[in-house]
């Protein structure tokens, strides 16, 4: 099983980035797809999740700025991040959970926002 993330990088405050995460196709019965982030010295926190029916859930800190979406045909989940702030700096991880309660993580992609 492989989750490949892309789209991270360095951006100025107020800028935008779009993260993508594609899985290898060997994961079945996918339920929830999501993004989490971990800043240095902090725990990994949920950023946004999206169910198989398209219902999205966001952390309060990103509501109105980030949008999660998924394309099941492309086996990909996206995170559009607008209005980025220095506090958004972290390693962002993709997560896929199945209906049989298996959970898979990507390798992480660095997002750095300069103020």
96-106: per-residue pLDDT in tens? 999 999 999 99
Query: Over the chain, what is the mean pLDDT?
Result: 96
Query: H helices within the chain, ranges in order?
Result: none
Burial of 56 (0-12, 13-18, 19+ CB in 10 A): middle
Q: Which residues contact 104 (CB under 8 A, 6 or more apart)?
A: 1, 3, 23, 27, 95, 96, 97
Specify the pLDDT at position 24. Answer: 84
Convert the pLDDT of each residue in 39-69 to its tens digit: 999 999 999 999 999 999 999 999 999 999 9
47: number of Cβ within 10 Å: 24
* 3: pLDDT strictly greater than 80: yes
* 1: pLDDT strictly greater than 80: no
| H or E stretch at 103 | strand 103-105
């Amino acid at each position: 099983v492989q989750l490949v993330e892309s789209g991270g990088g360095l951006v100025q405050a107020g800028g935008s980035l779009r993260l993508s995460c594609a899985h290898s196709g060997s994961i079945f019965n996918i339920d929830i797809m999501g993004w989490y982030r971990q800043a240095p010295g902090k725990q990994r926190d949920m950023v946004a999740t999206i169910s198989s029916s398209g219902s999205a859930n966001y952390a309060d800190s990103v509501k109105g700025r980030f949008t999660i979406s998924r394309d099941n045909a492309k086996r990909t989940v996206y995170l559009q991040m607008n209005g980025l702030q220095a506090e958004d700096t972290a390693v962002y991880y993709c997560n896929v959970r199945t209906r049989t309660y298996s959970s898979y993580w990507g390798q992480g992609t660095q997002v750095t926002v300069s103020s």
